[in-house]
Amino acid sequence: MEQPVIALRGGVASLGGRPVLRGVDLAVRPGEVVALLGANGSGKSTAVRSIVGQVPLTGGELELFGTPQRRFRDWARVGYVPQRTTAAGGVPATVREVVSSGRLARTRFGMMRRADKEAVIRALELVGMADRLGDPVDALSGGQHQRVLIARALAGEPELLIMDEPMAGVDLASQEVLAEALRAQVARGATVLLVLHELGPLEPLIDRAVVLRDGCVVHDGPPPEAVGQHALPGHDHVHPHAGPAAEPIRTGLLT
């Protein structure tokens, strides 16, 4: 079998003395598009942040591209879209300046050559924001800002894209644009791990869904058919110890 791009086995992590991940298994194989679902506070962001090395794992094993994450240095292969925060820098910065920092890992000593500048424009075209190149980012709406953060991750032309709620606050038309952008990434061979609240226009792209609840994986398999209306099928067989069968699965798809 092909080596997974992300291999997390029994991942354990705590934040502020509270266990947040309690033995999470997550494997993402090359070319796969995996959605990470679950209610607010179920540990999705923590799982993703531990994969990119921003939350230390206190237990379990984690490999990226076959290398133990501690020794992984090839970050140019990874594009990351953090969950959007309202915090902005204290100095104005333009869309182009912010997206350019996503290209940094591909440059030598931060020198932006022509190819790098073109990659930045291309990334902005992919998310439909190329006409806002010179605008300050704090003059953008929440959804537009989110698209800039996605462009920043795309600018490095990564092999692995990790996005934490990339669709939050993005209107339906822009979600379609982003779905198209993502399809193009998958077509050129990229692997994608997405934290989502609802599948929306991305649904046809998603190969597999992993559902977290209270820091445990409660479902790992095909994405749920209809958004929100039913409980997920087959979860009890995947993890018989996940809880009493009578308890409804809260995937967070309804919120």
Among 68, 131, 141, 173, binds another protein (CB under 8 A): 173
**Ranges within 42-71 binding another protein (CB under 8 A):** 49, 52-54
* Binding track, positions 78-97, relative to Mg ion; x by CB under 5 A: -----x--------------
Task: Please tell me the count of residues contacting Mg ion according to CB under 5 A.
Answer: 2
Closest to 185 measured CA to CA, from 117, 130, 127:
127
Task: Please tell me the count of residues contacting another protein according to CB under 8 A.
Answer: 36
Q: Is 42 among the residues that bind Mg ion (CB under 5 A)? A: no
* Cα separation, 98 vs 70, whole angstroms: 27
Smaller CB distance to Mg ion: residue 126 or 194? 194
**Whole-angstrom distance between the N-terminal and C-terminal Cα of the chain?**
37
| Stretch of 14-22, 89-97, 102-110, 146-154 contacting ligand ADP, by CB under 6 A | 14-22
Among 42, 45, 144, 174, binds Mg ion (CB under 5 A): 45
Closest to 163 measured CA to CA, from 75, 80, 55:
80
Structure-token pair, residue 72: 């992984």
**Ranges within 146-165 binding another protein (CB under 8 A):** 152, 156
* Binding track, positions 189-228, relative to another protein; x by CB under 8 A: ----------------------------------------
The letter for the amino acid at 247 is E
Residue 24, beta-bridge partner list: 11
**Ranges within 113-172 binding ligand ADP (CB under 6 A):** none
Side-chain half-sphere of 104: how many Cα atoms within 13 Å? Answer: 11
* Cα separation, 208 vs 234, whole angstroms: 14
Q: Is 14 among the residues that bind another protein (CB under 8 A)? A: no
- If DSSP codes are grouped into helix, strand and coil, which group holds residue 68? strand
* Cα separation, 139 vs 149, whole angstroms: 14
**Ranges within 94-123 binding another protein (CB under 8 A):** 94, 96-98, 100-102, 104-105, 107, 110, 112
* Residue 134: contacted member of another protein, Mg ion, ligand ADP, none (CB under 5 to 8 Å, by partner type): another protein
* Cα separation, 240 vs 157, whole angstroms: 40
Q: Is 44 among the residues that bind ligand ADP (CB under 6 A)? A: yes
